[in-house]
Structure 1
């Protein structure tokens, strides 16, 4: 497919995405589907091989990692206070934040001994000299390509960066464009891991791309300066510092709930679904796909938790007890 064909396909995809991700309609609001609590699947969905390899490499188990993050939350009462405050600021139940933290540290990384360790790690990035680049181009330069022309900054950071991420998937990932072969990896991995693949991002494991998506919301609710890829150190400060990371987790959960509400689904009462979305990202695309599936009569009517979210719903009583101990 030539450049014009690729461009037409990318622009068409973006146009559809923008139409889908626009303001909620009255008809959707009138037909809001409340997603019930609990798991849709009787057994846990398959855990990816990558998670199994990470766990095996450190000679541990999922259950041991789960117990480790639960123990950290039990010990760090200051952290629990911050979780409650962030949840209130973004009008989400605290269990959604706990679910995100527990899922990440059970399946992606192991919790460290104390929250203080994360503060130390955050300082290590403060004066580092780095930028977000891929194949010799900065992300800022790459985004001037015509394929991204329909991603409008006027619609806010969430839609802007979701649109850019979608264009990467549709027009560049795993393709050869204008003589350049792009790896079959996510935009996050291509541009936003400047040190090494698989690097970690602090207590919340928040990727720089996700932080950029919710920067408008965090600026509006918490007064943090808006993030831009021109200042990568500021992005790393916000996602590595536990105090700020908790706020970003709350914002990510709020954004996911809003994205699904725009498509007629209330997921606010199901922490397993919000944990799933924290894990997989792109809530607007996924909510739109679900709405389309329902409209087409394909049989799919509700969002379904993945392995990560399934654990949160399965252990919900135990995780809720962390909040009752305050």
Structure 2
């Protein structure tokens, strides 16, 4: 029957009837008569309706088959649409759940570290579920550990990796004192899984001594923080020594960069989404513009900083839709 269907689909006519036994043999079936009409979706033939061994087929039969073929085609399209719609709804539901989970991870991470410093962030994923995330955890009365990371990719895979990083990071915070040690063991724990999935993550892993206002940072292939001093200047001398991203090498070692932020009212961390925003000329927003923005806005509260960043990036691009996640993290004066 498959050969017969292919033969009919190859014919240059949309439909046809044959009442002669000898001619009927051309469709490779032992029949006396036949009539067929193609099922067509736009310009593509997707099937046929075939009737055989009727007493005698006429033009009226061909017209009826033509109408029936249109009805069948519409029914098939509706079924296909319904199936795809259900799948899309299921995927959307799963992504919405993942998005809520990711928001919960980060919403719990806003905190006042001491009477002088607070952690605040802003996150806008490019898709429903993004690969950028931030998480902070109070280890004890003297220390807060926090991480800002950019997992390659988006969607369910990225969210899975985010959950793995968060779980491992939270455990390691109690086992190791320095961010370099935490990053080294985080990489060891996650390497195999990241390697299987073909992904990696850049990150800044931090431990903040809230009593002495001393910050230790380990840089896993990430951009160094933008630090502002009391004279409204960007501090260029504290660039954090950069290691390789998490998940690239199984035996990667990471180091800690430690400094006092007593006289630094803003430590601004970010993922690459903000830098890579492009205008109509394909020019990127870039690090220099971001430094200038932080320098001009660090005295504002979090809401004002976010509002001004949105205005600045929208003015630069001409729209508010970006290709990558936007995540900024601020360790700033209250």
Shorter-chain TM-score tier: under 0.3
TM-score (norm 2): 0.24
More strand by share: 2
More helix by share: 1
The structure with more radius of gyration: 2
